[in-house]
Amino acid sequence: MKFLVINGPNLNLLGLREPDIYGKQDYAALCDLVRQTCAAEGIEVALFQSNHEGAIVDAIQGAYGKMDGIVINPAAYTHTSIAILDALKAVGLPAVEVHISDVSQREDFRQVSYAGRACIKTYMGLGFEGYRQAILYLKDYLAK
């Protein structure tokens, strides 16, 4: 089983960025957690982070035929990007949406998730643990 884990804009600044909301651990720590979780589950994983919408679209398209599933935190593009939604729909791979913070309890403009419409499940407000849950959920989903 092969998963692509995608992180969108500003998630490279985890640790520095609004630690009260996103925590004190950095992006490298998140990558470690994802790699360790996948290794323990026998899953091959590729990690991708970009601050650019088109690069994220390219990564989703590139997963077609190579990956079995996608875990995605589109960050701010969650709330704006129809292009990312369309890319997820185009490749048709099962995708799980993750948000570190509980977006449901935040500003009005965060209440829409375009990408979420193409995802089989969303985890929010669990911190980095949401990524672990997403990987386990996707593995179970694909095993069925």
For the annotated catalytic residues, the residue numbers are 22, 99
By rule CB under 6 A, what count of residues binds ligand DQA? Answer: 10
Residue 68 main-chain phi, psi, to 5 deg: -95, -20
Are 41 and 135 a contacting pair, CB within 8 Å? yes
Are 118 and 89 a contacting pair, CB within 8 Å? yes
Q: Which of 89, 140, 98 is nearest to 8 (CA)?
A: 98
User: At its nearest, how many Å lie between ligand DQA and the CB of residue 125?
Assistant: 8
The residues near 104 (Cβ < 8 Å, ≥ 6 apart) are 111, 124, 125
Q: Pick out residues in 23-82 that bind ligand DQA (CB under 6 A).
A: 73, 75-76, 78
User: At its nearest, how many Å lie between ligand DQA and the CB of residue 140?
Assistant: 22
Cβ nearer to ligand DQA, comparing 60 with 103: 103
> Does 10 sit near ligand DQA (CB under 6 A)?
yes
Indicate if the alpha-carbon torsion angle 79, 82, 83, 87 is positive or negative: positive
Q: Pick out residues in 71-130 that bind ligand DQA (CB under 6 A).
A: 73, 75-76, 78, 99-101, 103, 110
Contact set with ligand DQA (CB under 6 A)? 10, 73, 75-76, 78, 99-101, 103, 110
